[in-house]
Structure 1
Amino acid sequence: MAKDIARALAEFAVAMKLPDIPPETIEFTKGLALKTVAGMLVGSSMPVGRRVIRGTIERGHASEVGAIGCGITTSLWNAVLNNGIFAHAAELEDDSFLRGTAWDITSFPVYFPLAEKLKLSGRELLEICIIGLEVHSRTTLFYPQGHLGLTVIPGALGPSVGVARAFKLSMDETMAAMGLALSGVPVAYVSFGTDAHYFETALHSLQALIAAELAKCGLAGNPDIVTYMSNLVGKERVIPEKIIQDLGTQWRVHDIWVKKYPCCFHMHRHLDGLKDIITAENISLSQVDRVRVHISHLEEICNRPEPASIGDLQFSFQNSIASMLLDRDVNYDHINEKKLTDPVFKEARSKVQIVNHEEWHPEYAMETPARIELILKDGREFSRERQFAVGAPQEPISIEQFRSLFIKFVNGILQESRRSWTADAIMNLENLDVRDLKELNRILVYETVEGPGQ
């Protein structure tokens, strides 16, 4: 059975073509590409991104491909590592919930520079993106979020399948790549809000590339994901047939929730609920006495009333709710070192009360409803409860909304004359020839407002 599953996934990766993929899946994947490219551009401009770029320049590697937002060429491995760190540092990753966790930030960071090196067309790039994300969404179904303080296991297997497709590996070579990518660095809850959190997921992208490269050279591994996952979480949690159930006809990539705010996803449902209230009632911060936020133990990681770093700001209910109260949005203007000591933000954060319901025992972060209560100085009270965030499969956003998010997030980072062109190019990825895709990558590498390597 285990070998049959690996072979079915490999056959899917080798045989799947764009005409076989539903239009809605193609559009959704392009939307995720817009988001992740925006994240890589934003991350390259953040303090952690600047430090990563400096290290890349100091190390010095063969000039193979451009590194997004860096203004330099470097080795493919360097570019993938950089892109992976940038994508996660921006906190724009789009995740699946209610099962195991899958996301897009370990796929696009490797596929874009790989497409440049291999001189792929936009159509070929889009195929590997969809194939890799679909396999990733299926092979991460069974690891419960936070089990043993870890998540996203296996992290590199799905992305490695997309790389294998880009290399045009055979079915046996693709299975070898899966086996080489199966075991690796997990994502540790203790690292949330630190640079290590970004580094861990960047290693998933890099391992995916290396695994496929080694498979191409003839190395082999054991792609027995069933035994691997059963040993980790117990046989009772692993349903092998689900991995390949309706493969090629039902697309699990649509389970991914889309982030609209650059902060931890645990907070998005509460933020949407708060936005519902203050928009409908036209409420400003000056009217607010306090905000009560009801959470489970899984969201406690975002209870950071006195943030001391940018990472803390991205994982702070208090800062995100303060931002929403002030500006009806959470964006990068609210996530910088000045906000740590800004008296207006400090006062707004002090209005937030966290209620941790120890009687709630969710297996997944989004399993319990997100409840938020707004108490005004005049005594009026409002509340909202949300099971899903806007951008979840139950409340999907359109490709035009994806485009608007891209334009918003890259404002001030990508040169103004290139923002719309770049968004439109990604939205029409399947129509880009090799030369067009090369131009897209050139813009992403060199035409940021402050290209540090230029």
Structure 2
Amino acid sequence: MGVTEALTRFLLQTTYEDFPREAVDRAKDLAIDFVGGALAGCQTHVSNIFTDYVKQMAAKPEAVIIGKNFRTTAQYASYLNGIFNHSTELEAVSQRTSPNPLAVIATSLSVGDKMKLPGKKVLEGLILGFEIQGRVGGPSLKGVSKKGRISIFNHLGTASAASKLMGLNLEQSRMAIGTAAFQAGGLITTVGTMAHVSELAFGSRDGIEAAELARKGFTSHPDIIETPQGFCDALIEEGGYDLNQMTRDLGKTFQIVNPGISVKKYPCCYRAHRALDAFYDMVDEHHISHGDIDKVIVEMNLYDSYLMKFTEPRTGEEAKFSFRHIFGTALLKGKVWIDSFSDEAASDRRYVEARRRVEEVVHRDWPPGRVDARVPVTIKLKDGRTFSKENASPREPTLNQLLDRYREGAEGVLAPEQTKKSMELLLDMENSRDFSEIMSLLSAKSP
């Protein structure tokens, strides 16, 4: 049995009852994080561009668009909701498996909304969709890091999630995965542009469409993952993936827990997060005032330099991928948050001056990969003292902090009772009989 068939069989045979409690709890945390991020991002400039584009279609009103007062097809609702979340750069990430669960989450929520599915079914789509993309993505990270393709696995996950939720059979599901796979893309060079915000959301739109087409009899290659000139062969560097590892120990652990997914603490590229944590640790440990700091030095390998490439960002999107802007913000304001990543902030004289106090050092001799990257941080004080620290991994916000972030994002978008009720129901979503009741609470409040 090939990889595509084995993974698809596992997808269709596994149910909510097979999940460990920790997988369910993690999925709910990710749903809370996703919706909170989408609420915070539903009125950004890039979100408004996409909202206008979808609204003009006047498409069939099947599913809720988070923070808006109109509906559209499940494909485009998931697309917009994903863009809203990503526009804040608060999307959840994973460093050791398929990089992002955003598209699978968006797919699961919108299909669950359209089909009025029970919450347990939505959780099946979310957990298993990410399982499939992570099963392929994890053993392939070595082969995509050098190629600059970081989002190709999302299409496998979204087609899998949609197939599961729509009740497709084995043949149909393989066709859906095969159809979505040839649309996979995402190039690292687009970071710092609006295109980067859309690359994950395209996967949710395409995955749902692929499942809809497969249900109607549309065909593709049934073994798309492993076949010559198929997904792995065409998109991943030769020798950079392991087909055997993709199906090893299926069901013994779940990707959502191990290697796991991380929730972002700061609204900027995840490569900066552990460096920021190290900076704040030193500030607290040594009782440093930001005004006493002469310079901050951030060191990185080649991979991080490809992502964190904007030394003098001109836009808010570029600023999210600029160590100098991110640490300049920490020096200027203390807190690194959404308001510091606007076009206005990028060109603000105060931020420009703060960026001059940040120095970047790229070590071309360090291991160049994604997983083995290092980001030491050094603080030089005006009195001559120097402190250095390197954190192995970033810290996550707590659930209470996520809920506070959710409330903050919902302010001015949802009515207070909508915010309160939607949070309560998402935290208990496995007991929901009709997921559309939860999603309906996320429509914009009446003027």
Both proteins in one fold, TM over 0.5 = yes
Task: Tell me which of 363, 379, 382 is aligned to 1:377.
Answer: 382
How big is each residue's C-alpha offset from its partner over 1:224-270, in whole Å with a ceiling of 9 and x where there is no partner? 31233134435533322211212112111222222111101111111
CA separation of 1:368/1:172 partners in 2, compared to 1, >3 Å: closer, same or farther?
Answer: same
How big is each residue's C-alpha offset from its partner over 1:47-102, in whole Å with a ceiling of 9 and x where there is no partner? 11112112222232222222112211122232122122222212112222245x33
Q: Give the 3-state SS of the residue equivalent to 1:71 in structure 2.
A: coil
Query: Could you tell me which residue of structure 2 aligns to residue 45 of structure 1?
Result: 43
Aligned residues: 438
Q: Are 1:332 and 2:338 matched, yes or no?
A: yes
CA separation of 1:369/1:117 partners in 2, compared to 1, >3 Å: closer, same or farther?
Answer: same
Task: Flag structure 2 segments of 5+ consecutive residues without an equivalent.
Answer: none
How big is each residue's C-alpha offset from its partner over 1:365-395, in whole Å with a ceiling of 9 and x where there is no partner? x41221000011111111111221114xxxx
Q: Displacement, 1:440?
A: 2.1
CA separation of 1:416/1:384 partners in 2, compared to 1, >3 Å: closer, same or farther?
Answer: farther
Equivalent position amino acid for 2:65 in 1: A
Equivalent position amino acid for 1:258 in 2: V
Q: Displacement, 1:151?
A: 1.7
CA distance in 1 between counterparts of 2:238 and 2:351 reads 48
Task: Flag structure 1 segments of 5+ consecutive residues without an equivalent.
Answer: 392-396
Task: Tell me which of 61, 85, 88 is aligned to 1:87.
Answer: 85
Task: Tell me which of 349, 353, 356 is aligned to 1:343.
Answer: 349
Query: Could you tell me which residue of structure 1 aligns to residue 176 of structure 2?
Result: 177
Query: Could you tell me which residue of structure 2 aligns to residue 69 of structure 1?
Result: 67
CA distance in 1 between counterparts of 2:96 and 2:405 reads 25
CA distance in 2 between counterparts of 1:285 and 1:156 reads 44
Query: Could you tell me which residue of structure 1 aligns to residue 117 of structure 2?
Result: 120
Contact 1:63 1:73 in 2 (8 A): yes
CA distance in 2 between counterparts of 1:302 and 1:369 reads 13
Q: Displacement, 1:328?
A: 4.0
Task: Tell me which of 231, 236, 245 is aligned to 1:233.
Answer: 236
How big is each residue's C-alpha offset from its partner over 1:300-339, in whole Å with a ceiling of 9 and x where there is no partner? 2324232211101211212211222344432112222332
Task: Tell me which of 243, 248, 263 is aligned to 1:245.
Answer: 248
CA separation of 1:234/1:299 partners in 2, compared to 1, >3 Å: closer, same or farther?
Answer: closer
Q: TM-score, normalised by structure 2?
A: 0.92
Q: Please report the RMSD computed on the Cα atoms of aligned residues, expressed in angstroms.
A: 2.1
Equivalent position amino acid for 1:261 in 2: Y
Equivalent position amino acid for 2:255 in 1: R
CA distance in 1 between counterparts of 2:304 and 2:88 reads 20
CA distance in 1 between counterparts of 2:366 and 2:82 reads 34
CA distance in 2 between counterparts of 1:412 and 1:381 reads 44
Equivalent position amino acid for 1:225 in 2: I
CA distance in 2 between counterparts of 1:233 and 1:306 reads 32
Percent of aligned pairs with the same amino acid: 27
CA distance in 1 between counterparts of 2:320 and 2:415 reads 25
Q: Displacement, 1:404?
A: 4.2
CA distance in 2 between counterparts of 1:16 and 1:401 reads 32
CA separation of 1:124/1:90 partners in 2, compared to 1, >3 Å: closer, same or farther?
Answer: same
Q: TM-score, normalised by structure 1?
A: 0.90
CA distance in 2 between counterparts of 1:368 and 1:168 reads 41
